[in-house]
Amino acid sequence: DTGVSQDPRHKITKRGQNVTFRCDPISEHNRLYWYRQTLGQGPEFLTYFQNEAQLEKSRLLSDRFSAERPKGSFSTLEIQRTEQGDSAMYLCASSLLLRVPGELFFGEGSRLTVL
Amino acid sequence: DAKTTQPNSMESNEEEPVHLPCNHSTISGTDYIHWYRQLPSQGPEYVIHGLTSNVNNRMASLAIAEDRKSSTLILHRATLRDAAVYYCILRGQYSGGGADGLTFGKGTHLIIQP
């Protein structure tokens, strides 16, 4: 399968713990996005990378959140000191510059439950 | 940001055409109209996009009103696998959300009856 893959698919943690999600984009895609989705809502943009550079961060991305894409390939999203309000689906998407603008390829998401 | 308005839910019968409406009365001249869908327990999936002219692809057709203030996603023959949330999104030169600028609303929950 050559789509976007995310790991883990499900994570249950206790409040105050740190969690890390990994995203492997489609191999030639140079743009990578993180979104968050809560129940009944559409995905909300968190941050965006072009190659290894993090070019944009949403106001939703508090300082407990950090994302990296060290070699311009896979990316990690870490949440420190988790809170119950962080419970959501975290979606990763990738796209290729010069392909169809606005055509993002999404992974299946990582569902976080904070107890 | 230009916004879209979609019905919360729609119901259709299997093997019949489905017309999903989207209003975007504040659309600007440079805004593209994108449609994505999200199947249960999956990430969103690109369906189609257009600017001014109607568009067809293997998944669906997009009909854009002449004044561009509304559009309709057409599924020509719905199957049970088309049951999903369908998002109508305007993407401008800068819509927020990175270079590909997608801001999702709540979408339309499409229910397909066998």
pLDDT computed for residue B31 by the predictor: 87
Q: Does B32 touch chain A (CB under 8 A)?
A: yes
pLDDT digits (tens, 9 = 90+) for A29-64: 989 999 999 999 999 999 999 999 998 898 888 999
Enumerate residues 36 to 95 of chain A having a beta carbon within 8 A of any beta carbon in chain B.
Answer: 40-45, 47-48, 50, 55-56, 58, 91, 93, 95
Distance from CA of B16 to the nearest CA of A (A): 27
Amino acid at B87: Y
pLDDT computed for residue A103 by the predictor: 84
Residue B43, token pair as written in the block: 């990430």
Distance from CA of A106 to the nearest CA of B (A): 5
Residue B89, token pair as written in the block: 């999104």
8 Å CB contact between B89 and B36: yes
A90, A98, B15, B90 from A61: Cα distances, Å: 12, 28, 43, 23
